[in-house]
Amino acid sequence: MTDQTDTHPVIRLRPKADARAMRHGFPWVYSDELVTDRRTKALAPGSIARLEDSERRPMGVVAVTPDSRIIARMLDRDPEAVIDRSWLAGRIARALELRERLYDAPYYRLVHAEADGLPGVVIDRFGDAAVLQPNAAWADRLTDEIAAALVEVTGCSTIVKNGTGRARGLEGLPEETAVLMGNVDAPIEVPMNGAIYMADLLGGQKTGLFYDQRPNHAFAARLANGARVLDVFSHVGGFGLAALAAGAVSATCVDGSSAALELAEAGARAAGMGDRLSTRKGDAFATMEALAGEGAQFDLVICDPPAFAPSRQALDAGLRAYERVARLAAPLVAPGGYLGLCSCSHAADLTKFRNASARGIGRGGRRSQLLRTGYAGPDHPMLPQLAESGYLKVLFFRLAP
């Protein structure tokens, strides 16, 4: 691929745009900050352009999606940068160096979008396989080049494109999943926190596994020895399997997906823990109400729901949903037991989520002490200038007798 900077169109910030924030590391230009003349509007989604401030001073090379609210994403602050396979390989190699320093085995998030200098790009690694999510138009256009650079740097032989999710819709991209190279004929075993997880790279949620919860799984496991554990919104058994590996006497996984629960059961069997795992398929709220009606109690309850507040418009409804989760979960915790509550909603900041959780616990008739606040693991680095990249919050409470 050739991509010479002298052929790039030039786009320009409006005089009132916050150029200083961009120069200090903010990675996005919003549509109302850019001069959107006829030529800019005519650019194909994912076009590479040179960005200038309102005084025509160069700011860097960006990817442009004219119809998106995030109209430009910073790729490189060097205005002469060439966005080719070599450039992509350099970014991936830098990301790989960090992960190899952090982890002994090649199971991790390899690229975490803006924080790794590849805006809108997510890559999760599963040993010799990798799942690529090109969630921005520029990355979707360069999918084959990103995949080739990924193979060059990591040596992975299987690359899956997962083109699903809300972010792609905001970029006007279609949903599609495809094996770009190699083959995937079965779920992949992923060792993590002493447990074995089964990742479905083609049919599972997101990339097939949520690596971001790794450190929170580990903390929950410290509370789980000898415990009865309830893992609500369990997906493939994230918290439940880690708890069993740490010596929990039993774990019950609750999820609305039969396929996810089957993977949880397969993971438990693969680790020789199948006799201690049970599953319940159904709506999480209804299942917690049913468990309360049965008089069930657990020493450790974890609730890891989907993003109830994916946008500011959904914030109030999302906070009510988080409060309801806490209200229904609290009575299921045995006296002196532990409750873990999770939010992956970037629109609900830590304070709002913590307050909603505390209200719910109180409405559930329990008193609590907050033990720990957890976040995503270090393979999900946060870009300090972009609050959205710090999306995951996990609160661990001990509930009074």
Q: Do residues 181 and 151 touch, judged by C-beta distance below 8 A?
A: yes
Q: Report how far residue 394's alpha carbon sits from residue 325's, in angstroms, rounded to the nearest whole number.
A: 13
Choose the catalytic residue: 253, 303, 342, 344: 344
Sign of the CA dihedral 175, 149, 386, 64? Answer: negative
| Active-site residue, 344 included | yes
**Residue 33 DSSP code:** G
Distance CA 13, CA 225 (A): 57
User: Alpha-carbon dihedral of residues 73, 120, 63, 45, nearest 10 degrees?
Assistant: -120
Q: At what angle do helices 258-270 and 238-245 cross, to 10 degrees?
A: 20
Closest CA to 248 of 265, 230, 266, 270: 230
Between helices 143-154 and 85-102, what is the axis angle to 10°? Answer: 50
Alpha-carbon distance of 196 to 273, in angstroms, equals 10
The answer for residues whose C-beta is within 8 angstroms of residue 88's C-beta and 6 or more apart is 118, 142, 145, 146, 149
List, by residue number, the catalytic residues: 344
